[in-house]
Amino acid sequence: MGAARDRLLEAFREFGIQEGEFTLASGATSKWYLDGRQVTFRGDLQPVIGQAVLDVLAEAGVGPGGFDAVGGMTLGADPVAIAVATASGARAFSVRKEPKGHGVGGRFAGPISPDDRVVAVEDTVTTGGSFLKAIDALEEFGCTIVAAVCLLDRGGVIGDLLAARGVRFHAVLGAPDVGYEFGS
């Protein structure tokens, strides 16, 4: 894919991957864990993250003008969305886990409109539960999902789930790229 993907892979190996006994958000257990935030919250890697996602989108035929906004479920998607927005000039937003009950309320933070063409992003996906919730919220709001992109697909199942819903999925890296089997 290119230099950004290679640098992201190197960063995940250097800063994000841990080995041991872990319980994942899905409830499954694993002998390895990717703490994506150890990579995505690094200022020096923000340009790499933005470019890696844009490279994946370009390969899929989605250029920077092909979407209006980028975001996903807070907290994992937030730095990814900001990196892509900075690299592309698009707007970034967050999907809240629950609607906010005060202020202007709502499920979203940031500049997003119901008619936006959006790229849904996430740092790491295993079963895709949070990713699907974010996409559901965006579709209910009226957005068109142009693509869904994660930095690391560790489960290998979300692509088929999204394809069945008509959403194109792309991963910058998969579990085998970092030395593990999908779903391990």
- Dump pLDDT digits (tens) for 34-81: 999 999 999 999 999 999 999 999 999 998 799 999 999 999 999 999
Average pLDDT score, the chain:
93
Please give the tally of structural domains in the chain: 1
Q: Is residue 111 part of a domain?
A: yes
CB of 131 closer than 8 Å to CB of 148? yes
Q: Is residue 183 part of a domain?
A: no
Average pLDDT value for residue range 86-108: 82
Closest alpha carbon to 9 in 42, 52, 43, 50: 52
Q: Which tops the pLDDT comparison, 27 or 116?
A: 116
Q: Is residue 173 part of a domain?
A: yes
Q: Is residue 67 part of a domain?
A: yes
CB of 116 closer than 8 Å to CB of 68? yes
| pLDDT at residue 97, as a whole number | 87
| pLDDT at residue 106, as a whole number | 83
pLDDT tier at 92 (50, 70, 90 boundaries)?
Answer: very high
Look up the pTM and report it: 0.94
Q: What percent of the residues of the chain are helix, what percent strand, and what percent coil, each to the nearest 5? A: 40, 30, 30
What CATH number is associated with residue 148? 3.40.50.2020
**What Rg do the C-alpha atoms of the chain give, in angstroms?**
15
| pLDDT at residue 102, as a whole number | 52
Q: Is residue 39 part of a domain?
A: yes
CB of 114 closer than 8 Å to CB of 148? no
Inform me whether the pLDDT recorded for 1 exceeds 70: no
Segment 159-179, tens digit of pLDDT = 999 999 999 999 999 999 999
Q: Is residue 184 part of a domain?
A: no
Domain with 12 in it: 3-178
What's the one-letter identity of residue 83? A
